[in-house]
Chains A and B, each alone.
Chain A
Amino acid sequence: MLEFIIIFPLVVAVISLLIPNYQTRSWLLPVSGGLHFLCSVWLAVEQRPLRGIWLGLDALSTLVLVVTSLLFFGCALYAVGYLDIRRDRGNKIMVPCLLIFLSAMTLAIAARHLGMMWMAVEATTISSAPLIYYNRNKLSIEATWKYLLICSVGIALAMLGLLFVAYAALGSGSPASLQLDELLQMAGSLSKPWLHGGFVFLLVGFGTKMGLAPLHSWKPDAYGEAPGLVGALLAGGLTSVAFLAILRGVQLMSAAGDGAMARQALLGMGLLSLCLAAIFMVRQPDIKRLLAYSSVEHMGLLAIGVGIGGLATFGAMLHLINNALTKGSLFLAAGNIQRAYSSKRLTEVRGVISALPVSGSLFLAGFLAITGSPPFGPFMSEFTILRGIFANHHLLVGLFVLLFLALVFIGMGSTVLAATQGKAEAKTSGFRDRLLLCISPTVFILLVLVLGVYIPEPLQQALQNAAALLEVQP
């Protein structure tokens, strides 16, 4: 089953090249996305951990798999409506690249061999580059080039980190390996300096991909210029995959008895991300770049959650779901807004709610959700992370986080409120809210709302299992 959901998107990608009809080709996306989602849920519900040499699912990867798959399904449904109004740009590249991207993400999530995971993460970079270049103008090419070069170099450093980890085994006399379970087993006998060096490079490499400050420079450009649905997939899906890769490093370090060092590094980068994001979000005139910085902020929160440990790790796992769904909703709504105004800058975008009642309200609700207002899910997860921080007596860290969250709320609020409130000028294009472009973001935000009020027992259990994997002591 696991092999199936990695391979079938590739097959569909090839089929999509042979289909002449435009609409049929677009519809391949939600059909594949739906099938992928069903299989992922089935794999998650079945609940026996799959432990192969190459592929497998544990509690952590199951969580990321289901979230990513759901997000892709929603974005794929949106894509049908989006590609229908972008017939000038076509879908001949978009559809296969999205499917390859899905396959590569699934492989990266399911890989038990770290070398294979690396290969899949690099494949996500390559397959998403044409998606960012979809609009084919000067700005999008600049964004694509930066994304491609910075992420490729970052990922190359992650490879070096992996090799360091493999080298750590040489001194102990055991054969070098990059198979995760084998590594975890012999973690105690790994040579410390190489393991530490390896973790640092892993953190820098996959941190680039995840967009942790100060390695986030490509993020506002790429998210800003890519179509909304691609931004949603990158901000909600790909970042979670990169985070999972970093968590593998944390698992290794914990198993070797150096979890504290890994946590400190994550905590430091998380705080820096939060701080830089907050600074750039104040008076940000571009709604999609605003969302990109918000993504940097939330990656920072994830890192802080895992960095603190204990209850905060549980909060970070919950936040991973909330962030993915809320960012999905926000980027899709922002895509609609950009279509309607032919702009994403505050100078043109005014009075969205009166012009596009559904997308505008979604954008406003998404803003409230992502900044942690009750009763949405992120409130619960951010609150849990904060409780974890204070419970562990990191008073100063807690105060910093609260301060930056407040700053983000004010900065993001001033831009979002200015864009959504007031009267729309008459010059908007003929774009109106339509079912296919509104249903996915609406469902996402409703799910986030539900998660804020009630976490079902199986999900609670799954989150605890995932967090427990990171809390293993040697």
Chain B
Amino acid sequence: MEITNPLLLTVILINFFTLGSARLGACIRIVALQGALLALLPLAVHGFSLHSLVLFSGALLFKGVFIPLLLLRAIREVRIRREVEPVIGFVPTLILGVLMTAGAFLFADFLPLAVEHLDSLFVPTALATMFSGFLLLITRRKAITQVLGYLMLENGIFIFGVLLSEALPLMVEGGVLLDLLVGVFVMGIVMNQINREFSSINTESLTALKE
């Protein structure tokens, strides 16, 4: 389909934006946009069926609206705006992100893909988004950015899942999205408690438990 390639390219650009930005509010909003764009994919690939319409609205509501609102409320409550001092600086993270994306495209060429997916951007984008999510998880200190990394990882898996929608009945897709929403909700509560106990949500303060 014509529309999927620009969509997937935008998704990759959003990965870069998130890797390079320090402003948490902007990061949350842009990851929300990524989720909303992904919601369009089932429609673009499978056309207007009940399955893709439900998946579209579910993903749009959960990934594009509810989860970002939860996270925005969380950063308002703990009063933080910026991710300062990431473990690796923003520019090196960006460079790593570019390398990983290039790697994802090269790697996807070697995969034994089904004939209909040979020239599409789906698999490399899914891999690149997952890698970016991992990078975010590893290189940031704030609990909230780690949650964003987890969300991005899930987004990458969602892209891959669009190719396999016949294997994932609505009940399962719905359950997966619900798990994600409740998971982020619980993470938000835990984040709030971290802030109350340690007066910051830097996960560096979580180092008392070790051998």
Contact = CB atoms under 8 A, between A and B. Distances in A.
Interface of A: 54, 113, 115-116, 118-119, 122-123, 125-126, 129-130, 133, 136-139, 141-146, 148-149, 152-153, 156, 159-160, 163, 166-167, 169-171, 175-178, 191, 193-194, 220-221, 224-225, 280
B164 interface: yes
B112 A129 contact: no
Given A145-B190, A156-B150, A193 B112 contact: yes
B174 to A, nearest CB: 9
Which of A54, A152, A191 has the most C-beta atoms of chain B within 10 angstroms of its own C-beta?
Answer: A152
Contacts of A136: 193
A115 B172 contact: yes
Across chains A and B, which 5 residue pairs bring their CB atoms closest together, nearest first?
A115-B172, A119-B175, A166-B167, A176-B167, A142-B206
8 contacts: A116-B172, A119-B172, A133-B190, A159-B176, A166-B164, A171-B112, A171-B114, A193-B112
Q: Is the interface of A mostly helix, strand, loop or mixed?
A: helix
Interface in B127-180: 130, 137, 143, 146, 150, 153-154, 157, 160-161, 163-164, 166-169, 171-172, 175-176, 179
Nearest to A155: B179
A152 B166 contact: no
Interface in B28-57: none
A153 B176 contact: no
A116 B163 CA distance: 18
Contacts of A156: 150, 153-154, 157
Interface of B: 111-112, 114, 130, 137, 143, 146, 150, 153-154, 157, 160-161, 163-164, 166-169, 171-172, 175-176, 179, 182-183, 186-187, 190, 193-194, 197-198, 203, 206-209, 211
Nearest to B143: A145
Contacts of A191: 112
B136 to A, nearest CB: 11
B206 A118 contact: no
B208 A142 contact: yes
Contacts of B194: 141, 145
Contacts of A119: 172, 175-176, 179
Contacts of A139: 208-209
Contacts of B163: 167
Nearest to A107: B175
Given A145-B203, A148-B186, A156-B153, 13 more contacts: A115-B175, A116-B171, A122-B179, A123-B179, A138-B198, A144-B190, A148-B183, A148-B190, A163-B160, A166-B164, A175-B166, A194-B112, A220-B211
Nearest to A283: B211
A225 B206 CA distance: 13
A181 to B, nearest CB: 14
Nearest to B206: A142
A100 B134 CA distance: 30
Contacts of B190: 129, 133, 141, 144-145, 148
Given A159-B157, A160-B130, A126 B166 contact: no
A115 B112 contact: no
B6 to A, nearest CB: 24
A153 B137 contact: yes
Contacts of A144: 190
Contacts of B168: 115, 166, 178
Contacts of B111: 193
B161 to A, nearest CB: 6
A126 B211 contact: no
Contacts of A194: 112
Nearest to B110: A193
Contacts of A225: 209
B54 to A, nearest CB: 15
A153 B187 contact: no
Quick one: which of B146, B172, B194 has the most chain A CB within 10 A?
B172
A141 B209 contact: no
Nearest to B189: A130
Given A166-B167, A175-B166, A141 B175 contact: no
Q: Which of A54, A116, A149 has the most CB of B within 10 A?
A: A149
A156 B151 CA distance: 10
Nearest to B147: A149
A79 B186 CA distance: 23
A328 B84 CA distance: 44
Nearest to B111: A193
A295 to B, nearest CB: 16
A171 B27 CA distance: 38
A159 B150 CA distance: 13
A117 B164 CA distance: 17
A224 B183 contact: no
Contacts of B150: 149, 152-153, 156
A136 B189 CA distance: 12
A153 B187 CA distance: 13
A166 B163 CA distance: 10
A115 B182 contact: no
